[in-house]
Amino acid sequence: MNEKFTYSLRIGICPDFYAEEKFYDLLKFCKSAQIDDVQFFLNMEEVNQGHLSLEKTKEWLQMIEKFKPKLNEEGISVSLNPWTTVLHADRGRTLAEDQNFTTMADYNGRKADAVACPLDQQFQDYIKAVYRLYADLHFAVIWIEDDFRLHNHPPLEWGGCFCELHKREFDKRIGKEVDMESFLEGILCQGSPHPYRKVWLDTARDTMCGFAALLGEAVHEISPHTRMGLMSSGPEVHCVEGRDWNGIFSGLSGETAPLNRPHLPAYAEASPRQYALDFQKTTKLSAAMTKGQAQLWPELDNFPHTTFSKSHRFTRLEIESALAVGADGITMNLFDMIGNGINKEQKYDELLSRAKPYLTGITGLHLKGSEEKGICVMYSSNSSYTIHTDGTRCLSAIQPWETFWAEYLSAFGMANYYCDDCSKTGEIMAVSGQYFRNLKPCEITKMFSDNVLLLEGEAVETLVDKGLGCLLGITSCEWYPANTGKHSYEQVITEQRFQNLPYARISAQTMGETGDYLNITYTKEPHQTVSVLKAPDGSVVGEGVVYVTNRAVILPYGHMRDRHNFLLNPVRQEMLRHLILSMKDVRQPVIIENCPYVTVSHFSREGQQVLLLFNYATDDFENVKLDLPFPVQDAFEISREEGKPVPLQFEKREGGILLPFMLEHMTSRCIVLKS
């Protein structure tokens, strides 16, 4: 385990374009920016020439081989980032005359001109020979690009390979020949999954596990100590190809320690608030799916690689955000890949050298995902096998949507973490989408008897569809689409004031960003109706937020996917906090009061609680109030300047503490509390 935070710089220097000058600029930059590892690109992006011949590959490697000792002398390890595995996209590239590879094809029968299918034997022989050349240089890490996937290879339609080799494999597993249209209809048929869905997912899963093993063996037969790093994309899209994370890591890594590069979800600068939501949806779920078996160095990209696309402040915020998944390093794509090398005028070395002490100070705490506490956001990496579709002819229809609560709770300042263990007890569990389809009725029943659940509309609909609405006293439910005029706002009906407003009202119609409303009919089971949905004339349409005593809190909206901004409301924030704090016999989360888009990650170890606070807002917050489920006797924080522990003043208050400091916008603070 690292004692310091690792900077791994990705850089493109071309053999025939001022390579020596570019290298010495790189060497100077590495020293001033405190770079620990350099990943040399090979055959990258704009200068990519498709699948390089072995002779062309050797030209790149000869250049890197000349530079490698000089970096090693400075204590900088050298790694390789071949930009091409199967190839990201055609972009006008074609196969060479002697490359008779089977290329990928989509379900409409269109074939790629250059993107290779990993099942093709000639391509396997070629790529094995290429990776043996890489292994000859004994790199610290060889990174597998995120073109290591079956989806997202333009100009093909999104989702999987349906080439003749895969078609043969599908037919073999089915036991008969099936035409492509019938096979696709089976994968995407409305309602319960057809057996063809499993055939398709299993084939994709086995294809990529076999491909990983081929690459890993090719390298480790020659260089057994070289690590193989996996660059991953969005976890929900990996579900659509049935990704077996353990199988892929086993194949790639052999006897070496697995290394994964989760995606940080901002190639160019975005609203920090949107980044906060996307980070929970993508990076945190990717980290959870590796189950602690891989070291994490997330991906900082900066496309198109200037400070016009991303500011220094946003760049540092992204790097710091990696700490929330227990990362002890980061891969950085700061400069273009055309061969310009280091652009000194961008002054990234100043940014990186200033940030390094703070990052290293937190790395020294050795935070682990297994130590994270809070509300359990439930997920399954196998949900694409079980999800019910509406019959849409698109493979994205089987993407799971189980991240809603991670995004929602985080924006509200409520500690949470992803969990795939439904047998936990005494927890607050949050379920969205069709997660329940992965479980047996007895497992679902036990979840409700042993925990309190937070549910959005699609989770409730799934429960009712499985015949288990009785667990919450629900007899039926019906979707009311947004903006039909049936419902337009939600109103609190209890005397409890939220945001000090009497019978507060909240929008339920604006631009569909609250999603559709699920009108639920309840029996006489003990429950508390906190709000109701109303029509424009003020008439009651149905129940809103409901607390089924010691069983569940129901937020009756769904179908919003990434469009739930209007559900983020200070009234709902305060309402949910009130309901959570009233729950009995469950583990309470750390909660930050009234600081929109300030997230908290809580890591618990004996006698010590570590909190990472991230302010993704563009406001500063002073005197931050925390609800804590544990006592505090002493506190310190990791200095943002020197990375060392410094005493932290705090004020005790009922149920928690007040931190009398300024939490600046787009920054983080690391606080350690001692009981």
Q: Residues 598-617: pLDDT tens digits?
A: 999 999 998 899 999 999 99
pLDDT band, very low/low/confident/very high, at 233 (cuts 50, 70, 90): confident
**Positions of CATH 2.60.40.1180 in the chain:** 591-674
Instruction: Supply the CATH classification number for the domain 6-87+118-151+197-368.
Output: 3.20.20.80
Instruction: Supply the CATH classification number for the domain 374-412+416-582.
Output: 3.40.50.880
pLDDT band, very low/low/confident/very high, at 362 (cuts 50, 70, 90): very high
Extract the runs of DSSP E, i.e. beta strands, from 432-571. Answer: 452-456, 474-480, 489-492, 505-507, 516-522, 527-529, 531-534, 540-543, 546-548, 552-555, 557-558
Structure tokens at 466: 């499985």
What average pLDDT does the segment 34-43 reach?
98
283-336 pLDDT, tens digit per residue, is 999 999 998 889 999 999 998 898 999 999 999 999 999 999 999 999 999 999
Best-predicted range by mean pLDDT (216-225, 296-305, 555-564): 216-225
237-295 pLDDT, tens digit per residue, is 899 999 999 999 999 999 999 999 999 999 999 999 999 999 999 999 999 999 888 99
The pLDDT, as a whole number, for residue 391 is: 86
Residue 596 DSSP SS3: coil
Closest CA to 294 of 339, 246, 222: 246
Structure tokens at 106: 């989509």
Dist. CA 416–CA 405, nearest whole Å: 9
395-436 pLDDT, tens digit per residue, is 999 999 999 999 999 999 999 999 999 999 999 999 999 999
152-166 pLDDT, tens digit per residue, is 999 999 989 999 999
Dist. CA 435–CA 367, nearest whole Å: 28
The pLDDT, as a whole number, for residue 1 is: 63
pLDDT band, very low/low/confident/very high, at 632 (cuts 50, 70, 90): very high
**Positions of CATH 3.40.50.880 in the chain:** 374-412+416-582
Closest CA to 133 of 49, 51, 218, 70: 218
Q: Are 3 and 323 in contact (CB under 8 A)?
A: no
Element (H, E) at 32: helix 19-33
Closest CA to 554 of 524, 521, 598: 521
From the centroid of its chain, how far is CA 257?
21
The pLDDT, as a whole number, for residue 515 is: 84
Dist. CA 329–CA 331, nearest whole Å: 7
Closest CA to 63 of 28, 130, 12: 12
Closest CA to 335 of 7, 10, 6: 10
What average pLDDT does the segment 345-362 reach?
97
Q: Are 464 and 437 in contact (CB under 8 A)?
A: no
Q: Which fold has domain 591-674?
A: Immunoglobulin-like (2.60.40)
**Positions of CATH 3.20.20.80 in the chain:** 6-87+118-151+197-368
What average pLDDT does the segment 17-34 reach?
98
Q: Are 543 and 464 in contact (CB under 8 A)?
A: no
The pLDDT, as a whole number, for residue 510 is: 67
Edge-to-edge strands of the sheet including 651-653? 591-592, 621-627, 656-663, 651-653
CB under 8 Å to 220, separation ≥6 — which residues? Answer: 135, 226, 254, 255, 256
The pLDDT, as a whole number, for residue 116 is: 98
Dist. CA 602–CA 445, nearest whole Å: 28
Dist. CA 322–CA 302, nearest whole Å: 15
The owner of tokens 């994309």 is 233
What average pLDDT does the segment 125-138 reach?
99
The pLDDT, as a whole number, for residue 26 is: 98
